Chain A
Amino acid sequence: MKVKEVVEALNLKVFSGYDGLSNTITGGYTSDLLSDVMGNAPPGAIWITLQTHVNVMAVATLKDLSAVVLVKGLEPEANTIQQSNNEGIPILGTNLQAFEISGLLYNLLNTK
């Protein structure tokens, strides 16, 4: 499933990284601990988190993740946005909390 299909289906906000909207999502991972994501997120995963600082993009880039979803209406910091644009890894947003958006994403990715 493409990032843009998920954006439409779940009505997510797109903050940045528009070049990556055609990235393919091959799984998901929900965590706010960077070394947990580093060690365990599968490549191509969409990452659900409340972290908004630029290290999120370092991890997303190094792990070849497909997109990042910020929960609870949180917004990325300016340099996080810049990195997201440079790398073509979209940062998305939702007002839902992590449990809710993870459940929706899980269903969406596993019914297609």
Chain B
Amino acid sequence: MHFEYRVQGGDFVRAGQASSQVKKILKQLNVASQIIKRIVVALYEGEVNIVAHAFQGKIYVDIETDKVRVVLDDVGPGIPDIEMAMRPGFSTASPIVREMGFGAGMGLPNIKENTDKMKISSVVGVGTRLEFVVNLKE
């Protein structure tokens, strides 16, 4: 099954809507709640990163029999140093965004923690692609 969602940079009011729709779909498909929780954490962090750091993006979700594969593709500033971005606590979030409680620099580490495979590719000045896979079976 394949689903796609659009994400608008800067639109914090709607941040998390794609994640919430995917959660509902996974529930309907009777995916184990432990697995849903992991997918939802990773997806939300990826979605919010587009809202907080990029201009616009698309989320592609593929639900297969043994895994869920997610690609988040954005048009944005890109990430100059991915290794540094992955470090817990590293954030370039603006003061306003931080005041809202974003910008702890924990999003990418959360994604790593909750997925079985994770890959970031990015071109500075063009955009970022985050891909992750969560296995549905142990």
Contact = CB atoms under 8 A, between A and B. Distances in A.
A55 B16 contact: yes
Contact of B110 (A39, A51, A56): A39
Given A34-B102, A63-B37, 11 more contacts: A33-B102, A34-B104, A35-B102, A36-B106, A38-B106, A39-B109, A53-B100, A55-B101, A61-B20, A62-B44, A64-B37
Contacts of B37: 43, 63-64
10 contacts: A34-B104, A35-B45, A35-B107, A43-B37, A55-B16, A56-B101, A61-B20, A62-B19, A62-B20, A62-B23
Interface bin, chain A: 20 to 34
Interface string B5-24: 00000001101110110010
B20 A32 contact: no
Contacts of A38: 41, 44-45, 106-107, 110
Interface in B108-125: 109-110, 113-114
Contacts of A32: 101
Interface residues of B, number: 24
* The 3 residue pairs across chains A and B that have the minimum distance between CB atoms: A58-B16, A35-B106, A33-B104
B41 A55 contact: no
A55 B45 CA distance: 12
A54 B13 CA distance: 6
Interface of B: 12-13, 15-17, 19-20, 23, 37, 40-41, 44-45, 48, 100-102, 104, 106-107, 109-110, 113-114
For B23, B44, B102, B110, the residue with the greatest tally of chain A CB atoms inside 10 Å of its CB is: B44
Given A62-B23, A62-B40, A62-B44, A35 B16 contact: no
The secondary structure that dominates the A interface is helix
Contacts of A33: 101-102, 104, 106
Interface string A17-53: 0000000000000001111101100010000010101
B51 to A, nearest CB: 9
Interface string A51-75: 1011110110111100000000000
A53 B40 contact: no
B10 to A, nearest CB: 13
A51 B100 contact: yes
Contacts of B13: 54, 79
